[in-house]
């Protein structure tokens, strides 16, 4: 296996790092403090080609491979997880689902607008009573003479307040279970689509998170992704891509923790010398480096398999599980290295810890990832009664 990046990948990585250092980091603290969803910064990200990076150029994307996409997300994640969330949702959940399951007409209508940032999208799967159990959706889709009508609610939907198009998963026939699920492309500009901002979050203060009420929301007859019964497969394939981007973003958090801890420990003097000279400080930094490198290599393996078109659900779950848990540990340890200074947002490690906590919950909890891995190794599905 070749661990060297290509010249193009190295250029993409350095460009993303420069963009993050120049545009993202300087805004991240103030955006978090003010709970500000920075649309101006989102537009700058779009101009870089980071929204829809893996979408082919014929549909308005950058046509990049998954390794390159992971490098971009890592660098943005190092700067600001809230902004990384925009890229993950727009690219991995919305664009990838349309690319894989959409008709040619749907691809040409939606993807250029999403890749350019003209439109934002959201992924409406989770409900107040349906999280890990994605097949138990209560949102209902009723067929009409002019298409479909949706009724129900969604919860914890990133970008739900700003999205122009929403991928809404709904049940067409409760008796069919997951075989009755369908995914609809919903125009949010109608009275029945009612988002409400979720406030008082622990982290991701600069990210838009919504609860959505669907009251007689109308969908055209040609606005379904795939067919009735494909909804569950649409969701799982999108989550495979989404988990990859979350893992890559968490590698960025790990890397940021290493860099900030090294910088601070070299500057902070105690007992007449930099604390970087203390053995226990070096041990903490060494463990952060270990977890960072291991997480990055797991992300690269998943990306390699995706680029080859080979099965990668298990490997993606491994990368997501390891990187999110590692990033949580690194953020906590980085605050320990900083001491009291790490407990306030003068240093980014405080924000790293608050923002990273949710990564072990969304797009499949750490426990769900373990069940996916266990199912692959034992051949026994722990999600259903035996």
The yes-or-no answer on residue 363 being catalytic is: yes
Considering 74, 75, 260, 363, which one is annotated as catalytic? 363
End-to-end C-alpha distance for the chain, whole angstroms? 40
Q: Distance between alpha carbon 339 and the CA centroid of its chain, in Å? A: 30
Rounded Cα distance, 138 and 156, in Å: 15
Q: Which residues are catalytic?
A: 363
């Amino acid at each position: 296996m070749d661990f060297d990046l290509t010249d193009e990948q190295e250029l993409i990585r350095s460009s993303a790092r420069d963009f993050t250092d120049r545009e993202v980091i300087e805004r991240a603290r103030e955006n978090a403090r003010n709970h500000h969803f920075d649309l101006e910064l989102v537009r700058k990200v779009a101009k870089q080609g980071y929204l829809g990076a893996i979408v082919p150029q014929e549909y308005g994307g950058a046509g990049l491979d998954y390794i390159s996409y992971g490098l971009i997300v890592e660098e943005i994640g190092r700067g600001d997880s809230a902004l990384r969330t925009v890229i993950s949702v727009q690219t991995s959940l919305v664009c990838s689902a349309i690319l894989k399951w959409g008709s040619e007409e749907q691809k040409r209508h939606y993807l250029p607008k999403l890749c350019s940032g003209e439109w934002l999208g959201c992924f409406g799967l989770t409900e107040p009573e349906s999280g890990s159990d994605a097949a138990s959706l209560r949102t209902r889709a009723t067929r009409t003479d002019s298409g479909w009508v949706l009724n129900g609610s969604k919860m914890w939907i990133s970008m739900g307040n700003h999205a122009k198009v929403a991928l809404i998963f709904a049940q067409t026939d409760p008796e069919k279970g997951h075989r009755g699920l369908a995914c609809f492309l919903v125009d949010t500009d109608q009275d029945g689509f009612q988002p409400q901002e979720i406030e008082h979050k622990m982290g991701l203060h600069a990210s838009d998170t919504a609860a959505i009420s669907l009251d007689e929301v109308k969908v055209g007859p040609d606005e379904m992704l795939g067919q009735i019964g494909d909804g569950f497969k649409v969701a799982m394939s999108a989550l495979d891509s989404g988990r990859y981007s979350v893992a890559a973003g968490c590698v960025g958090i790990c890397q940021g923790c290493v860099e900030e801890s090294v910088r601070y420990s070299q500057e902070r003097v105690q007992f007449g010398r930099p604390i970087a000279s203390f053995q226990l400080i070096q041990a903490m930094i060494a463990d952060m480096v270990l977890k960072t490198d291991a997480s990055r290599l797991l992300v690269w393996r998943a990306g390699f398999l995706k680029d080859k078109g080979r099965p990668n659900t298990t490997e993606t779950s491994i990368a997501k599980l390891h990187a999110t848990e590692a990033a949580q540990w690194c953020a906590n340890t980085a605050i320990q290295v900083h001491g009291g200074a790490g407990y306030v947002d003068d240093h980014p490690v405080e924000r790293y810890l608050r923002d990273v906590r949710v990564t072990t919950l969304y797009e499949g909890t750490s426990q769900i990832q373990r069940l996916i891995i266990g199912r692959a190794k034992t051949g026994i599905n722990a999600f259903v009664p035996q």
